[in-house]
């Protein structure tokens, strides 16, 4: 169960919500794997977190686009694209929190996932100490 306050997501427009979904995808695929089981967990998590604001077809389309964009542009460029769609600090902190929860979903944060967390914090202009505190709070 997510430790993130879902009320922070209610006022987000579609573009910001899509940026959060992309952030979650980047985190879910950080270890280089995105198995069918991980995909099912990811889709259920996103639908739950967004209270069904994104129907199954729309969500599948967003994931396919995120896969294509990541392959074409690389992770650093996609992190900056997420940042551009999340101009306020609060939304960026939610994005980082979602990334942390996604990487910790299997109970282990691998080195590649830890790198993604700190790359994300840097790209979203979140202090590294704040990012480390979020990791402790959300995984402890």
Contact by Cβ (8 Å): 70, 29: yes
Distance CA 119, CA 80 (A): 10
Q: What is the pLDDT of residue 1?
A: 41
Distance CA 104, CA 96 (A): 12
Confidence band (pLDDT; 50, 70, 90) for 6? low
For 58-97, what is each residue's pLDDT tens digit? 888 998 999 999 999 999 999 999 999 998 888 899 899 9
Q: Which CATH number fits domain 11-139: 2.60.410.10, 2.60.120.10, 1.10.274.30, 1.10.3680.10?
A: 1.10.3680.10
Q: What is the pLDDT of residue 76?
A: 94
Distance CA 82, CA 95 (A): 9
Confidence band (pLDDT; 50, 70, 90) for 9? low
Residue 11 phi/psi, 5-degree rounding, is: -90, 5
pTM for this model (two decimals): 0.86
Contact by Cβ (8 Å): 119, 75: yes
């Amino acid at each position: 169960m997510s430790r993130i306050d879902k009320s922070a997501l209610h006022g987000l427009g579609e573009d910001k919500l899509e940026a959060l979904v992309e952030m979650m995808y980047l985190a879910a695929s950080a270890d280089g794997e995105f198995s069918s089981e991980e995909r099912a967990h990811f889709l259920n998590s996103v639908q739950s977190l967004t209270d069904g604001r994104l129907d199954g077809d729309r969500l599948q389309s967003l994931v396919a686009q995120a896969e294509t964009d990541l392959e074409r542009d690389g992770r650093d460029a996609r992190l900056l694209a997420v940042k551009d769609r999340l101009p306020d600090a609060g939304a960026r902190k939610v994005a980082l929190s979602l990334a942390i929860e996604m990487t910790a979903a299997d109970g282990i944060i691998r080195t590649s996932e830890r790198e993604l967390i700190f790359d994300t914090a840097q790209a979203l202009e979140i202090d590294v100490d704040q990012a480390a505190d979020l990791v402790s709070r959300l995984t402890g």
